[in-house]
Amino acid sequence: MTIQIETLEVGQEIGSATIPITRQDLVKYAGASGDFNPIHWNEAFATGVGLPGVIAHGMFTMGAAVQLVSDWIGDPGAVVDYQTRFTKPVIVEDTTAEPGTPGAVVEVRGVLGAVNAEEKTVRVDLTVMYGGQKVLVKAQAVVKLP
């Protein structure tokens, strides 16, 4: 499916997603990213440095959120810019005794914030929530349409 710029307008919702996160996800991400900071997998260490518990990597949260945009456009390479500010950590509870139960759930919603017909680009504004609070602010992805 090819999205036509003429059919898009500011304020249009592109979709929403619920992202379950487990500590296993964080360990896998640590391996892929090389970020083995123990605040992302070790409860005792995380609380020992003053955190409320193990927290998800900021870049993990950012990447998981933009997946909504990639799925909508159908081509991750069409995302030509993506930025955000991190405001709150995503605390991932230990649910290893309950397999399949997420330790955290992040909610993402995408709305078109700008449409540039001349350049064939759109800006998608993402609302990224955890525990009723925004964890990313000014999360914006610019997409180049084919």
pLDDT digits (tens, 9 = 90+) for 111-135: 999 999 999 999 999 999 999 999 9
Domain 5-144: give its CATH superfamily. Answer: Hotdog Thioesterase (3.10.129.10)
Q: What is the pLDDT of residue 14?
A: 98
Report yes or no: 53 and 47 within 8 Å, Cβ to Cβ. yes
Q: How confident is the model at residue 86 (pLDDT cuts 50, 70, 90)?
A: very high
Q: What is the pLDDT of residue 39?
A: 97
3-state SS, the chain, equals CCCCHHHCCCCCEEEEEEEEECHHHHHHHHHHHCCCCHHHCCHHHHHHCCCCCCECCHHHHHHHHHHHHHHHHCCHHHEEEEEEEECCCCECCCCCCCCCCCCEEEEEEEEEEEEECCCCEEEEEEEEEECCEEEEEEEEEEEECC
| Residue 1 reports pLDDT greater than 80 | no
**113 is written with which tokens?**
């914030």
- Domain ranges for the chain, please list them: 5-144
pTM: 0.93
